[in-house]
Structure 1
Amino acid sequence: MSENKLKGEVIFVGAGPGDPELITIKGSRALERADRVIYAGSLVNPDLLNLCRPGTPCHDSASLTLEEVAALMLEGTKKGETIVRLHTGDPSMYGAIKEQFDRLDQEGISYSVVPGVSSVFAAAAAVKREFTLPDISQTLILTRLAGRTPVPDREALTHLAQHQSSMAIFLSVQDMGSVVEALLEGGYPVSTPIAVVAKASWPDEEIVVGTLETIADKVNAAGIRKQAQILVGDFLDPAGGYARSKLYDPTFTHEFRQGKET
């Protein structure tokens, strides 16, 4: 048997936004059979670790470097272990997973990814809104404000705001004034509705709503400084109304139904 066949595997699992019931069945089953778990302790709900078998080693990666995380993976897979790398939300969004993949590729270690529920969708559920309303917006932009992690100039919030589509802004609530300034400079009217959802799906979830004129003061008064989604666009409050969906319009014909004139 080859060396690679003797090695274990790493499963990257999206933990969901916070509510432990929002992990996927596939993700929970991976935790149940894991020999070792490396979890993002600063964001992942620790209740999810209760899905693991008693005595399963669980390593909090909040204070670890990439090299230290990779060393734990290598140590375990050399023993034939199944390792779950538990990321918050969905690993593909701001999960820093590509650099981990590269390390595993270098070592010839097998890995797979189980997607998760992103906080952006938990936030939409919290405010009970649809990002893609007919005649309002059919585009959702997921982005962040530049900070210690830079953003390419072409993706600056001011440029993206020119589309005036539905937008969800990650990792930026700590500088709400700059977010508002960029959105206004990009072309959103000052009356544009905006919502900030802190800790979406957690027991202490908090929702602050307003307009671009009022939201910075409201967020500051609420003391929200992290773990928040910023949702902006007319989908939040389509003052001029929105078009009915074609899918369920009785006059619209599609593959599964013949439309009828009214």
Structure 2
Amino acid sequence: MSTAPVFAGPDAAVPRHVAIIMDGNGRWAKRRLLPRAAGHRAGVEAVRRVTRAARALGIEALTLYAFSSENWRRPAEEIGDLMGLLRLFIRSDLAEFQRENVRLRILGDYRRFPTDVVTLIDDALARTAANTGPSLAIALNYGAQAELTRAARRLAERLPPEQIDEAAIEGELETRELPPLDLLIRTSGEHRLSNFLLWQAAYAELLFVDTLWPDFGADELSAAVADFGQRQRRFGGL
């Protein structure tokens, strides 16, 4: 969904759409001489803190990069741990989403996941579909290059080349029902996008922080929003 650019100054409003690459669970666990699974469990707690903080700040849409299409290369045991945490998160937090009028959305091909996980996700999507409050989008088995490839193929099947423009492509993206991306945060000190929202990030503000994801919370999100408010977004202008 496209809107006219907003040129933000020092008193800018809170970003409408924030995305986060949640990085650092493994390093958080290693520093504490704990198994990686403990880092992922702590990461789920950070998800809860940040989603609640985003609602309190008035952020309309929060998108979290939970499982990339490249994460299948990880050890089977770790993937199993992540699936278990996803099951637990959906079962334990769905009631809160309904109570807080949060609409859950999924980016990516989650149907590659175990059948029971797919069923849980389908149920959560159906039960929050009518909610009219903030959106929580979780990227599962998501890769931006694959997203763009699928969009191009669908458009090529039904439109002549001269009719394929930026608006047509945006209409095929999995974020088409979300506000334009304003702020993309990556935790843990890494400085790359890792195949996440490549199209949507074209004019988003980028923020790379050293904090490991399990240590990220309301204060860190508030600081990121404050940093965003100090930036001037020119969208190619002066």
TM-score by length of 1: 0.28
- Greater per-residue helix proportion: 2
Q: Which has the higher contact order (CA 8 A, sep 6+)?
A: 2
TM-score by length of 2: 0.30
Query: Quick check: which has more Rg, 1 or 2?
Result: 1
